[in-house]
Amino acid sequence: MKIRKGFVSNSSSSSFVCWGISTKNIKLSDKIWLYSFQTDKLFFEESLMKYNSENKDSWYLRLIEDAKNWINKANELNSDNEKIEFIKSYYTFDPYSLLVDKELFPDNFEVEGNPEYDVFYLGLPVSKIEKLYPDLKISEIRNFVANQLKNYYDQDITSADIDFINEYWYNG
C-alpha cells in the first residue's frame, strides 16, 4: 500500500467552510425589512434616472411603468410599519435572499449558498476565525458565533443552532 504525503487533490473543492446557520433560521427583523425598502426605492429611482426614452420595447416600457408605480406607492407611505408591510407584500420570492446583502450581517461573517436550490448559509469562515480570533478554542466556537448572531439580530440564537457548514462543488 502506498501512502501519499503532502497535497492530495481530486475533482471536488471546498469553497465555503464556516461555523454558522441557515439564513432561514434567522427572523427577518423590521431593521432588515426597512433596509430592503430603502435600497429597493433607491434602485428604482436610479433606474428611472437612467431611463432611455429611445427604447420602445414593450418589456422595457412595462419595467419603467412598474418602477414608476412602485415609487409612487412608496412615496405615499409615512410610517415604518406601512413601509414594512409594503415591502413584505412586494417580495414574491424568498425574502431570506435579503440576507446576502453585506449590510445585513455581522462584520467578518460571510454568506454562501446556491440560489438554484434556495439555500443560503451565514457564517464565520474558519479562515477568519483562525486569523482574527487565534485564542478562541474549538470548544468555544459555537458559543462565540451564536453570541455574535444573537447580538446582531437581537434574537434567541444558541450554540445548538450553529452548525459546521462545508459548501463545495464537484466537477468530475
Q: What is the pLDDT of residue 75?
A: 95
Q: Which residues contact 8 (CB under 8 A, 6 or more apart)?
A: none
- Residue 112 pLDDT level (bands cut at 50, 70, 90): confident
**Higher model confidence: residue 27 or residue 16?**
27
Q: State the DSSP code for 11.
A: S
Domain boundaries, position 65: 32-90
**Integer angstrom CA distances of residue 11 from 7, 99, 106:** 13, 30, 33
- Show which of 90, 116, 138 is a domain's final residue: 90
Same domain, 57 and 16: no
Check: CB of residue 162 under 8 Å from CB of residue 145: yes
Q: CA-CA distance, 48 to 66, in Å (whole number)?
A: 10
158 within domain boundaries? yes
Same domain, 50 and 19: no
**How many domains in the chain?**
2
Same domain, 114 and 160: yes
Instruction: Give the lowest-confidence range in 89-103, 114-128, 132-146.
Output: 89-103
153 within domain boundaries? yes
**Higher model confidence: residue 85 or residue 54?**
85
Instruction: Give 123's Cβ-side CA count (13 Å radius).
Output: 26
* Cell numbers 457564517: residue: 123
Same domain, 36 and 69: yes
2 within domain boundaries? no
147 within domain boundaries? yes
**Amino acid making up residue 153:** Y
- Residue 81 pLDDT level (bands cut at 50, 70, 90): very high
Task: Please give the mean pLDDT across all residues of the chain.
Answer: 81
Could you tell me the pTM of the whole model? 0.69
